[in-house]
């Protein structure tokens, strides 16, 4: 199977869906003439033209609103935010228009659109450009929230998101666009709302998603050297959450550690912890542990970045605590 970059997988998904359906179009800052801030849309202006690959002013509220209106009229817009930090400018259109229009119109208006772009930290970008918003958007009924962790998943999930009749928040990472992975040339879709077991194990369940899944997998590999068997689950979608896959794994391993790039209060890990104790409390042999970012805005210095994010050391420590709790 061929190996391509994360950005190339996204580009293929967008291009294939635009060839398949003339109602699909891409709109955002620098997506056309500049070939995309992260080169996801490179070459797409030449193929599809300026009516379907649309550069916008720096006005997220405006072009997000245009996207909602287009979706109400039968088109399938893909709205690219240069970063989801900038989506805060457009959040009224995302939350009060896109997410609620189907319910408020009594089912008269579907909103088949995708809001996509990078989320979370990407190194030394400062506090205003280093925030993870997966749990924020997952809190809102009417939205679906997808966070892929590799090129294969990114392509299959983005194609499903574009075909979905509800608004989908599709969250990537600036630090993953150059990641490489195997992606088949033939068409495939990955269903939204289904988690996957990335690594089978018997001693402890690790749940994660997005780029921090790399930390979970690295911790599992490190602990395997010590004879500890970790089952690693990639949620892929954080609304809806596939609770059943998590619960079945916990029933097997009896221990759970959740690794997430988000502030701890009202995080996805908090929600999963609640559901596990509600549905599988009697199977737990230790309290659930979570590893989140530090509960502070992210500083600029590289030492702050290192201390802020979940890492392998914190993850392996938490796993050993749930395994050897006295």
pLDDT digits (tens, 9 = 90+) for 133-158: 999 999 999 999 999 999 999 999 99
For the question of residue 129 being annotated catalytic, the response is yes
Fold exhibited by the domain 196-323: Rossmann fold (3.40.50)
Q: Does the structural domain 3-182 have CATH classification 3.40.50.970?
A: yes
Distance separating alpha carbons of residues 312 and 301, to the nearest angstrom: 20
First to last CA, the chain: 47
DSSP symbols for 237-298: EEES--HHHHHHHHHHHS-EEEE-SS-STT-HHHHHHHHHHHHHGGG-SS--EEE---SSPP
Select which of 129, 172, 174, 231 is catalytic.
129
- Per-residue confidence band for 1, with pLDDT thresholds at 50, 70 and 90: confident
Q: Which one of 12, 17, 29, 60 is the catalytic residue?
A: 60
Peptide bond into 240 cis (omega under 30): yes
Q: Check whether 13 has a pLDDT greater than 80.
A: yes
3-state SS, residue 44: helix
Six-digit token pair at 31?
A: 């997506």
State the pTM of this model: 0.95
Whether 289 sits among the annotated catalytic residues: the reply is: no
Q: What is the pLDDT of residues 49-90, one digit of tens each?
A: 999 999 999 999 999 999 999 999 999 999 999 999 999 999
Give the start-to-end residue ranges of the domains of the chain.
3-182, 196-323
Q: Residue 176 belongs to what H/E stretch?
A: none
Asked if the domains 3-182 and 196-323 are classified in one and the same CATH topology, the answer is: yes
DSSP 74: T
What is the per-residue pLDDT for 268? 97
Residue 42 is encoded by which pair of tokens? 């490179």
């Amino acid at each position: 199977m061929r190996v391509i970059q994360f950005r190339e997988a996204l580009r293929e998904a967008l291009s294939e869906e635009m060839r398949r359906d003339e109602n699909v179009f891409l709109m955002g800052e620098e997506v056309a003439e500049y070939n995309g801030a992260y080169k996801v849309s490179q070459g797409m202006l030449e193929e599809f033209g300026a009516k379907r690959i649309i550069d916008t002013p720096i006005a997220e509220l405006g072009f997000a609103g245009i996207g909602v209106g287009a979706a109400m009229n039968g088109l399938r817009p893909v709205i690219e935010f240069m970063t989801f930090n900038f989506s805060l400018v457009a959040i009224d259109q995302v939350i009060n228009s896109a997410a609620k229009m189907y319910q408020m119109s009594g089912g008269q208006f579907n909103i088949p659109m995708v809001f996509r772009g990078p989320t979370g930290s990407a190194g030394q970008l400062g506090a205003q450009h280093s925030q993870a918003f997966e749990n924020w958007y997952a809190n809102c009924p009417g939205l679906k929230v997808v966070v892929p962790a590799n090129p294969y998943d990114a392509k299959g999930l983005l194609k499903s998101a574009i075909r979905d009749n509800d608004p989908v928040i599709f969250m990537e990472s600036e630090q993953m666009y150059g990641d490489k992975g195997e992606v088949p040339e033939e068409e495939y879709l990955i269903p939204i709302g289904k988690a996957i077991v990335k690594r089978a194990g018997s001693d402890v369940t690790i749940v994660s998603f997005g780029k921090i899944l790399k930390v979970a997998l690295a911790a599992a590999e490190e602990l395997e050297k010590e004879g500890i068997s970790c089952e690693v689950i990639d949620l892929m979608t954080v609304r809806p959450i596939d609770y059943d896959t998590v619960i079945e794994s916990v029933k097997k391993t009896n221990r759970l550690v959740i690794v997430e790039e988000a502030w701890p209060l009202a995080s996805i890990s908090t929600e999963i912890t609640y559901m596990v104790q509600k549905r599988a409390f009697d199977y737990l042999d230790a309290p659930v542990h979570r590893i989140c970012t530090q509960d502070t805005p992210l500083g600029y210095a590289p030492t702050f970045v290192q201390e802020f994010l979940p890492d392998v050391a914190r993850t392996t420590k938490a796993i050993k605590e749930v395994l050897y709790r006295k």
